[in-house]
A and B are shown apart, each in its own frame.
Chain A
Amino acid sequence: EPEVTQTPSHQVTQMGQEVILRCVPISNHLYFYWYRQILGQKVEFLVSFYNNEISEKSEIFDDQFSVERPDGSNFTLKIRSTKLEDSAMYFCASSPQGDYNSPLHFGNGTRLTVT
C-alpha cells in the first residue's frame, strides 16, 4: 500500500539554525499538509498546500515557516530560525481531495529537537 514517507526520522538542531523537513506524499495525491505535535499534546494543523500554493495556514505558521514542492515528488517544510518551542513531532500528510472529507494519510513523522 502506498505511504507517505518523511525524512529524517529525527533531527537535532541548535536554536537559530534553519531546518528543512522532507516529505514524499503518495504519488497520486494532490493535497499536502503539515501538522505538528508537541510532546504529549494534541496534533495541530500548520498548513495545507495545493497546486503549488498554500491553501490554508494556522496562526502557528508564521513567517518563520515556509513550504515548498521543489519537484514532482517532494514536499518540504522549512523553519528559518528555529526556537526551543519548535521542538515537536512534525507530520506530513496527503490526500486525494482537499475537502477534509477524505482521510489524510500521515507519514511517520520527523521528531525535531531544538537545543
Chain B
Amino acid sequence: AQKVTQAQTEISVVEKEDVTLDCVYETRDTTYYLFWYKQPPSGELVFLIRRNSFDEQNEISGRYSWNFQKSTSSFNFTITASQVVDSAVYFCAGARQLTFGSGTQLTVLP
C-alpha cells in the first residue's frame, strides 16, 4: 500500500513571500512517480508537475520549484514570490491509482 501525507492543512502567507508545501510519500515500490496538482476555488484539478523516483534533481519552472529526496520520501513544492492567484488547495499524489494526499489550503493575502 502507499500513503501520501501532507501534514500542513492550511498555510497563509502575505503576497511576495516564499512558501513551501510539504509532502511525504510512503511506498514499497522502488520506482514510482509523484505528482502535484492544484485545485483553485473554481474546483478543477490542474496538473503541475510529475517526478520519478530515480531523479532527485531539483526542478524549477518559473516561480515554482520542486525538491525530491528519496531518502526521506519527501517531495516538497516551493512557490517563490507568491501571488494572490496562487491561492488554492495543492495536492501531492503518488502513482498506483494516483493516491492523493489530503491537500494543503494555501491562502495568499494581498
Number of A-B contacts (CB under 8 A): 51
Given known pairs A43-B91, A89-B43, the reply for A103 and B100 (CB within 8 Å) is: no
Task: Note all chain B residues with C-beta closer than 8 A to A109.
Answer: 43-45
Taking a contact as CB atoms under 8 Å apart, the answer to whether A100 and B47 are in contact is no
Q: How far is the CA of A41 from the CA of B9 in the complex (A)?
A: 11
Taking a contact as CB atoms under 8 Å apart, the answer to whether A58 and B103 are in contact is no
A115 to chain B, nearest CB (A): 20
CB-defined interface of A64-96 with B at 8 Å, one 1/0 digit per residue?
Answer: 000000000000000000000000010100000
B81 to chain A, nearest CB (A): 25
Taking a contact as CB atoms under 8 Å apart, the answer to whether B50 and A41 are in contact is no
Cβ contact of B97, chosen from A42, A100, A105, A108, cutoff 8 A? A100
Q: A33-B98, A42-B102, A109-B45 are in contact. List 11 more A-B contacts (CB 8 A).
A: A45-B97, A100-B33, A100-B96, A100-B97, A101-B95, A102-B50, A103-B50, A106-B37, A106-B44, A108-B44, A109-B44
Q: Which residues of B contact A (CB under 8 A)?
A: 33, 35, 37, 42-47, 50, 52, 91, 93, 95-103
